[in-house]
Structure 1
């Protein structure tokens, strides 16, 4: 399959796409536009941005095509060996899951606009970009011998490889544990590359040390910095697409960059490869319901900030501030919610990214992070830090992520029980499957590391550090780098 992409009039914001594929003697071919994108579990109907779709045979003859659903077309091949599908896509939105073009920038998420014929999902793909002179490309998809032609092993890799192209891209690299990391920036800014390289290398090293390996030889942080306030990141096969703003280059922007980058890198394990079985493989035509988004997003939210503290990028005060943020977000909006985490994971497809009606759902990100915190501290207290949530994540990686076989809720629960050495009925009934308020359980386990949370009737949350020498020691062990902690344990033995 071959996609040729051009932008004849950047002011109009339309991509012009020619999708070429062999017919394999079929009398007709069905073409499908994705209805949603990985990392955002809601139907988005990308076909609404398609304009003027036509099909030609290899001979140049125009072929009959008609729509059979809102995002599906049927082509009568008329015995042509090859067909060329020609269409336009309106690319006018800048967020981490969209596409946008103007005179200075091409930002492409192929999941938005790349048609695929039935039966061709596992076929190799090439992308030819008719770029303006001087543009260079930031993308996890490998280039061919020609820099404007990219190669994907199949459709799944194609649509999991977003792209920025511009003549004004900033670029830096660093290397950790055999992986070459790229950091790309586009926007009105002057990156402090020395600081970025140092901090990114620290949290990357910490994540790899925790999980044992990073399963890609190269990884790309692709950043679009806007003049307006924005915060959005999306995980991909060997990259992440991040959109942030405003571009005032203050500490707030840099803290956001660190937080979202650490979160998205952990997704390279947790969801990209440690994937719920209901999403393996992705079916882009309809909802893919699953109940474990609290693992995919909640654990990742918890670890994103935790890795920054373990790596020494955040200090204690910065980490407490981040903990308080998602405590506040949970208790402010859903402390009395009637849905469990399992139910809210399933209902992401219904209204998971909208505010919704009062007291209905919980956030798989915020409550998911809090129940991950509870489990981590429970295991650390029971086993004097010899076991933790780290062990759960490593086992998920070794048994389900690395072989890429997909896990179920029952699989996750069995691994937690194995690490804990007990059924943990209270945890599943109260924190995951039920709607028991979390205040008491949270404070019970926060006390182990010298923290106390106070909630107020208006939803505000105050997280205090207790003056407790013994708890302070547990705090240090909880937040120690996994490498330092392992060395200390070996010394003790």
Structure 2
């Protein structure tokens, strides 16, 4: 499968795609456009952005086709050995999961706009960009010729976004044998020495936790906007980040660190340590699963912890981020009806919308909160000799490294193995239940000299919460090994 992508009139916000399918031998071929993208578990129906759609044989003769679902076409091949689909894709939105073109940028998430045939998913793919020779390309895919990228199969292709521009800025650092690339596009002057130092620090502690990095290289692809924005999406050997505004202040830099550390942790957790229901991805429909509290909650928890362990954050900076996390859960949906497993399942329904009040919880915020509880429970029981680190290492060794997919029961079994005891209370209260968690959380926060306090709430509203240090806590520095040392 070969794709040629261009934008001859970028002011129209249209991207032109030619899809070449060779080796055709059947009387009909069905072409599918993905209905959703990895990293956001909701149907996005990318086919709604297609303006013009035509199909030809290798000689340029039009072929008959019909649309048989909202994003699937059946083509009558009429003996053709090759098909060429030509279509335009409209995109006027920039976030970490879209595609966009203007006169100085071609930004592509291939999952938005690349067709495929079901029986060809595991065949090699090539992606050709029609861009000026002076433009540079930032992407996790390997270049095989100027402006030509190759993927081992469709799954790799659609898990590798790209930025092409004459204004890309680039820096590189290494951790072991792995090369890490930082790409920035936008009106900003990066402090590269600071960025490389801090990125190398948090990358090193993440690699140390798992003992190895899954890929030979990794790319932080960053678009900086003039307006406030914060979004990141994980990919196989890259992440797509969209941030703003481009004021070059500490707020922007803190956002860059936070989202980058979070997304890098995904290189293990969900890219490789993946729920069995998502392996392989079925791009035609919902892929329901109940463990997004592991995929996103544990990752959210570790994203900031890794910044503290690497000394990119000090204690105060970390505790500030932890307070933000806890406020987001307890003030927004601490009394919500659904459990984490129910809200994970319902991501496909309304997980990314505000939705009905007090119905669902955030798999990110509550998921990170209960990851903190589990980590502190294991550390308290084992005096820091074991921790959630051991859980994630075993998940990597047993499921991520062999890439076989895990179930909720698998995660529970590993957690109980590390804890050295049944964890019925934890899963019943934190994962399957919907009870408020303030008192349980405070039981474990006290172990590290912290407390979650709240003010008096107005009738019908949630109380505001505040994370405070307990006065006179003994051995606080020793207890803070939770933040400063890996297990």
TM-score bracket, shorter-length normalisation: over 0.9
**Runs of 4+ residues over 4 Å off in structure 1:** none
Tell me which residue corresponds to 1:249.
248
Tell me how far apart the structure 2 counterparts of residues 147 and 294 of structure 1 sit (CA, whole Å): 42
Equivalent position SS for 1:119: helix
Tell me which residue corresponds to 1:84.
84
- 2:24–2:80 CA contact under 8 A, matched in 1: no
Tell me how far apart the structure 1 counterparts of residues 474 and 481 of structure 2 sit (CA, whole Å): 11
Tell me which residue corresponds to 1:95.
95
* Aligned match for 1:476, one of 473, 476, 480: 480
Equivalent position SS for 1:196: helix
Deviations 1:353-380 (A, max 9, x none): 0011111000000000000000001101
Deviation at 1:455, TM superposition (A): 2.4
Q: 1:46-85 maps to which residues of 2 (within 5 A)?
A: 46-85=46-85
- 2:201–2:311 CA contact under 8 A, matched in 1: yes
Tell me how far apart the structure 1 counterparts of residues 478 and 109 of structure 2 sit (CA, whole Å): 44
How well do the aligned residues superpose, as a CA RMSD in angstroms?
Answer: 0.9
Tell me which residue corresponds to 1:395.
394
Tell me how far apart the structure 2 counterparts of residues 9 and 238 of structure 1 sit (CA, whole Å): 31
Normalising by structure 1, what TM-score? 0.97
- 2:58–2:81 CA contact under 8 A, matched in 1: yes
- 2:110–2:158 CA contact under 8 A, matched in 1: yes
Tell me which residue corresponds to 1:309.
308
Task: Tell me if 1:155 matches 2:161.
Answer: no
- 1:333–1:459 CA contact under 8 A, matched in 2: no
Tell me how far apart the structure 1 counterparts of residues 80 and 472 of structure 2 sit (CA, whole Å): 78
- 2:46–2:113 CA contact under 8 A, matched in 1: yes
Normalising by structure 2, what TM-score? 0.98
- 2:228–2:245 CA contact under 8 A, matched in 1: yes
- 1:99–1:107 CA contact under 8 A, matched in 2: yes
Q: 1:67-216 maps to which residues of 2 (within 5 A)?
A: 67-144=67-144, 146-216=145-215
Deviations 1:222-249 (A, max 9, x none): 0000000000000000000000001000
Tell me which residue corresponds to 2:263.
264
Tell me how far apart the structure 1 counterparts of residues 304 and 7 of structure 2 sit (CA, whole Å): 40
Task: Tell me if 1:350 matches 2:349.
Answer: yes
- Runs of 5+ unmatched residues, structure 2: none
Task: Tell me if 1:452 matches 2:456.
Answer: no
Tell me how far apart the structure 2 counterparts of residues 462 and 307 of structure 1 sit (CA, whole Å): 22
Equivalent position SS for 2:85: strand
Tell me how far apart the structure 1 counterparts of residues 332 and 51 of structure 2 sit (CA, whole Å): 40
